[in-house]
Amino acid sequence: MLSIDCPWCGSRDQSEFSYGGEAHIVRPKEPEKLSDEDWGDYLFNRKNTKGRFEEQWCHTAGCRRWFNAVRDSQSYKIEAVYKIGEQSPDGIPE
């Protein structure tokens, strides 16, 4: 059972949060111009990172804010949290 630092509410039990999967997936500006393959990539393909991984969480039962977290997928340790729109401490992903 994780304890997650909401950027607004501080440390709360994992049961108050919901998981949003990989962060920094930007919706294509003009979807109709994408090939089926590129659209499918946006829609379905996700990293399966071993180690530090940027992902989205929402403090569903609290302030209802979405935010990003860098979580180590091996140790489950959340190394950092940052608000939507802020840059990841790991820099801009390739």
Partner 1 sequence: MSSQRLPSGGRINRGRPLEFFFNGRRYEGFEGDTLASGLLANGIRLFGRSFKYHRPRGLFGSGSEEPNALVQLGEGASTIPNLKATQVELFDGLSARTVVGWPSLEIDLYAINNRIGRLLPAGFYYKTFMRPRFLWDWYEGRIRHAAGLGFAPTEPDSARYDKRNAHCDVLVVGAGPTGLMAALVAGRSGARVIVADEQAEMGGDLLSSTQHVSGACPWMFLDNLVKELSLMDNVMLLPRSTVSGYYDYNFLVINQRRTDHQAGIGDIVSRERNWRVRARQVVLATGAIERGLVFADNDRPGIMLSSAVRTYINRYAVRPGRTGAVFTNNDSAYQTAVEMHGAGMEVKGVIDVRQRPSQERLLQMDTLGIPVYSGHGVGGTRSGRQGLRAVELCRLSADGRDVLTQKGSLDCQVLAISGGWNPAIHLHCQSGGRPKYDDDQACFVPDKSVQSERSAGSALGIFQLGNCLSDGVDAGVHAVRETGYACAHIDIPYASDRTGSAIEPMWNVPDGVLPGRGGKKFVDYQNDTTAADIALAAREGYRSIEHVKRYTALGFGTDQGKTGNINGLAILAQHLGQSIPATGTTTFRPNYTPVTFGAIAGRELGTVFFDPVRKTPMHDWHVAHGAVFEDVGQWKRPWYYPKGGETMESAVRRECLATRKSIGLLDASTLGKIEVRGRDSAEFLNRIYTNAWSKLEINRCRYGLMLGEDGMVMDDGVSSRLGDNHYYMTTTTGGAAHVLGWLERWHQTEWPELEVFFTSVTDRWAVASIAGPNSRSLLDRLCSDIDLSAGAFPFMSLREGSVAGISARLFRISFSGELAFEINVSADDGVALWELLMEAGGEYGITPYGTETMHVLRAEKGYVIVGQDTDGSVTPADLGMDWIVSKTKDFIGKRSLARSDMLRDSRKQLVGLVTEQPETVLPEGTQLVNEPSTDYPVPMTGHVTSSYYSSTLGHSIALALIKGGHTRMGASVYAPTLDGQCIKAIISSPVFYDPENKLHKT
Partner 2 sequence: MTISGSKHSQFVGIDLDASFKGIAGDYGVWFNEISVTEFVNLRGDSTHSGFLTGVQRVTGVELPVIPNTVVRSGGLSCHWLGPDEWLMTVKKPEVSIMQDLEDSLSGLHIAVTDLTGGQSLFGVGGRQSRDVLSAACTLDLHADAFAQGSCAQTILAHSNVLITPAFQSSGDCVFEVLVRRSYADHLIRWLMDAAHEDGFEFRLDDNSGLD
39 contact choice in partner 1, partner 2, none (CB below 5 to 8 Å, kind-dependent): partner 1
Which neighbouring-strand residues pair with 81? 69
Residues of this chain, 13-32, that bind partner 2 according to CB under 8 A: 13, 15-16
Pick from 62, 59, 83, 60: nearest CA to 70 = 83
- Asked whether position 80 contacts partner 2 by CB under 8 A, the answer is no
Residue 81's binding partner among partner 2, partner 1, none (Cβ under 5 to 8 angstroms by kind) is none
Q: How many residues bind partner 2 (CB under 8 A)?
A: 12
Give backbone dihedrals phi and psi of 32, rounded to 5 degrees, phi first: -65, -15
